[in-house]
Amino acid sequence: MTATGAMVTEIAMAGLATTTHTVRMGNVITDGEIVVSGLTKHYKQVKAVDGLSFAIKPGRVTGFLGPNGAGKTTTLRMILNLVSPTAGTATIGGSRYADLAEPLRAVGAVLEASSAHKGRTGRNHLRVICAAAGLPASRADEAMELVGLTPAAKRKFKGYSLGMRQRLGIAAAMLGDPRVLILDEPANGLDPEGIRWMRDLLQKLAGEGRTILVSSHLLSEMELLADDVVIIAAGRLVAQGAVADVIGNAGSAGTVRVRTPHPDTLLEALAGVASSRDDGALVLTGVTAEQVGDAALRAGVAIHGLVTERPDLERVFLDLTAGKEAIR
Amino acid sequence: MRLVRSEFLKIRTTNVWWLFALGAVGLLVVAFAINALNMHFGVLQPPVEAGQNMDPEQAAVLSALAEPVALTSYMVTSGQYFGLMFVMLLGIITVTNEFHHQTATTTFLATPHRTSVIVAKAVAGGVFGIVLWLVTTAVTVPATAIFLDAEGITPALGDGEVIRAVLLNGLAYALWALIGIGIGVLIRSQIGATITAMVVYTVGTAAVSIIVNVLTAWLNWEWLANVQWAMPSLASSLMTSGTSLPGQPDYWVGALVLVGWAVVTGLVGTLLTRSRDVS
């Protein structure tokens, strides 16, 4: 945990450094860093979010992870000025959301899939937003095209499938061509093809230098999608950093699983390596597969199977959030 | 300004507006016919036996109503009762739709300044009300002229008090949108808000009127009768009555009461919207 703590401070300091040379003109953001500091939301009974601080860097996809009820949605809504924090601040490019001159041109958000009037067509839904944001109505058609909804543009929202609704939400978020994109559980309701489409889109958008913050509880999907992760549980920060670092820092080091007819001979050749036996295989800690292979060759022992096992995000996530009750 | 455009687009891109307009105009025809029959048989040519057992107060009201100015104002503002109700319902729906269809998030993301959103809704709803008033008046003016002509009375359409009544009627149509918006913020459930508002508007108005009249007669407190004008619907009809009828306050009392209601509901709605978490 100390390692994680140090990493958080480091990123917070980096955030401080960038804001000093960020050029701001009337709260139009030129840098899409999201900085959350001491963010807290108390409801009557529950501390939904409790002194949360983190920073999200531009040009990367950041996964925002936590068990159900960890405070992910409340945090995102506080960043977007939809829920007022009990304490703390959240800024995007140095400005609070409410102070942004043209919020939709700075930030796009996808918060819930079923958010359009049932009797309105998808295109008209986008046009209403364009009108409110002072964007030309033609942006509605462009955004429809971007998410592949053009054939359904004139259909009413109630006829949309869950996947189409999710795409419409992403289209709405992209209307203002924002530098920052915030998505709450965007994979919900998407089929495998849709999930792949979204992953490619988000990675492309991050590649263009945008800030992408995606909340999810689908860990395997996050491992494929995210560059960085922020993990929270019970309203508090648990870990933050690059995916590989978070996995590496979690303490559960990699293991090598080897199958051989002569385990004892192999262990002698690998003197001093910690080992355990599992289902007829040797599980070795603190060695690489190459070292095990070389040792086997020297000892003249046959190898029937040799597998490197790295802990994945899911393992780390469960370790980190264990004991933090989801339902409070 | 662009927020108002957005709110107009919201109204225009669903079916509600023309259904409401159709309902209001349909009921306008019914209301005008009822008013015409009422005036014909109740005021202009009352059955002979009715005049004999009528108390002098009531007779005074009737003869005041028979004056061309009062008669013209009364007829030309026909349809107000249902028209105002539809404007109020539209106001309610512009707000409750945002919660019912969960579009409040989208709306407040585009405009974090929530007061502007309420103002834009009030302007859009008010304009809808004024358009409905224009259509209504375009129907009632010629209809009133024809009806009064047939009764052998010269319609006083050019009279200052009639014109005032017609213009104040327009104000009522605009203000009721704001009242509806306030109700919509208070009761976020679409069904809850519309049903509550309609029951209070129809049954509530009649109930207050009856209760106040019964209490007045029973306790013999004349001043109590004036309490009923605090109801926004009765205040609206008071302010468009043209000449003052015996036993009624002046028209401007109605106007003040209605403006008061609109300001209070609008303010409460705005303050609630500003402080509420959207989730």
Q: Which residues of chain A from 214 to 273 reach within 8 Å of chain B, CB to CB?
A: none
User: Is residue A326 domain-resident?
Assistant: no
Predicted confidence at residue A327, as pLDDT, reads 53
B174/chain A closest Cα distance in angstroms: 22
User: Is residue A320 domain-resident?
Assistant: no
d(CA A250, CA A215): 21
User: Is residue A327 domain-resident?
Assistant: no
Pair (A214, A261) in one structural domain: no
Judge contact between A320 and A238, C-beta under 8 A: yes
Pair (A69, A159) in one structural domain: yes
Burial, B219: exposed, middle or buried (Cβ in 10 Å; 0-12, 13-18, 19+)?
Answer: exposed
Q: Spell out the per-residue pLDDT of chain A, length 328, in tens.
A: 334 443 443 333 343 433 333 433 446 666 789 999 999 999 888 889 999 999 999 999 999 998 888 899 999 999 999 999 999 999 999 999 999 989 999 999 998 756 889 899 999 999 999 999 999 999 999 999 999 999 999 999 999 998 899 999 999 999 999 999 999 988 887 888 889 999 999 999 999 999 999 998 888 888 889 999 999 988 999 889 998 888 776 555 567 888 989 888 888 888 878 888 888 888 888 788 888 888 889 888 898 988 887 777 777 888 788 776 555 5
Neighbour-count burial for B58-91, b at 16+ CB within 10 Å, e otherwise = eeebbebbebbbbbbbbbbbbbbbbbbbbbbbbb
**Residue among A74, A77, A133 whose CB faces B110 most closely:** A133
Predicted confidence at residue A253, as pLDDT, reads 58
Beta-carbon pairs below 8 A across chains A and B: 82
Predicted confidence at residue B9, as pLDDT, reads 92
Pair (A94, A121) in one structural domain: yes
Number of domains chain A is built from: 2
User: Is residue A44 domain-resident?
Assistant: yes
d(CA A7, CA A219): 22
The confidence band for B176, taking pLDDT boundaries of 50, 70 and 90, is very high
Pair (A158, A295) in one structural domain: no
Nearest to B186 by CA among B273, B127, B252, B250: B273
- A132 touches B: beta carbon within 8 Å: yes
User: Is residue A322 domain-resident?
Assistant: no
Pair (A269, A241) in one structural domain: no
Predicted confidence at residue A316, as pLDDT, reads 80
User: Is residue A49 domain-resident?
Assistant: yes
B230-236 mean pLDDT? 86
Pair (A97, A49) in one structural domain: yes
Nearest to A235 by CA among A326, A162, A312: A326
Judge contact between A102 and A133, C-beta under 8 A: yes
Pair (A104, A143) in one structural domain: yes
Query: In a 3-state reduction of DSSP, which class is residue A44?
Result: coil
Pair (A151, A273) in one structural domain: no
Predicted confidence at residue A4, as pLDDT, reads 41
For residue A291, give its domain range. 255-310
Q: What is the DSSP string of B86-142?
A: HHHHHHHHHHHHHHHTT-HHHHHHH---HHHHHHHHHHHHHHHHHHHHHHHHHHHHH
Nearest to B243 by CA among B233, B252, B235: B252
The confidence band for B48, taking pLDDT boundaries of 50, 70 and 90, is low
CB atoms within 10 A of CB A88: 17
Pair (A12, A158) in one structural domain: yes
Residue B268: pLDDT over 80: yes
B81-101 mean pLDDT? 92
**Residue among B2, B15, B109 whose CB faces A131 most closely:** B2
Pair (A230, A305) in one structural domain: no
Give the tokens for residue A189: 């309701």
Pair (A287, A231) in one structural domain: no
d(CA B30, CA B241): 20
User: Is residue A240 domain-resident?
Assistant: yes
Predicted confidence at residue A140, as pLDDT, reads 95
Looking up residue A303, the CATH number of its domain turns out to be: 3.30.70
Looking up residue A87, the CATH number of its domain turns out to be: 3.40.50.300
- A152 touches B: beta carbon within 8 Å: no
User: Is residue A316 domain-resident?
Assistant: no
Measured between beta carbons, the chain A residues lying within 8 angstroms of B123 are none
Nearest to A107 by CA among A172, A62, A200: A172
Residue B22: pLDDT over 80: yes
Q: Show the DSSP H helices in chain A as ranges.
A: 2-20, 72-79, 103-106, 122-133, 138-146, 162-174, 192-207, 219-225, 243-249, 263-269, 289-299, 313-321
Across chain B, mean pLDDT equals 87
Residue B125: pLDDT over 80: yes
Q: Which residues of chain A from 54 to 93 reach within 8 Å of chain B, CB to CB?
A: 73-74, 77, 80-84
- A103 touches B: beta carbon within 8 Å: yes
Pair (A94, A164) in one structural domain: yes
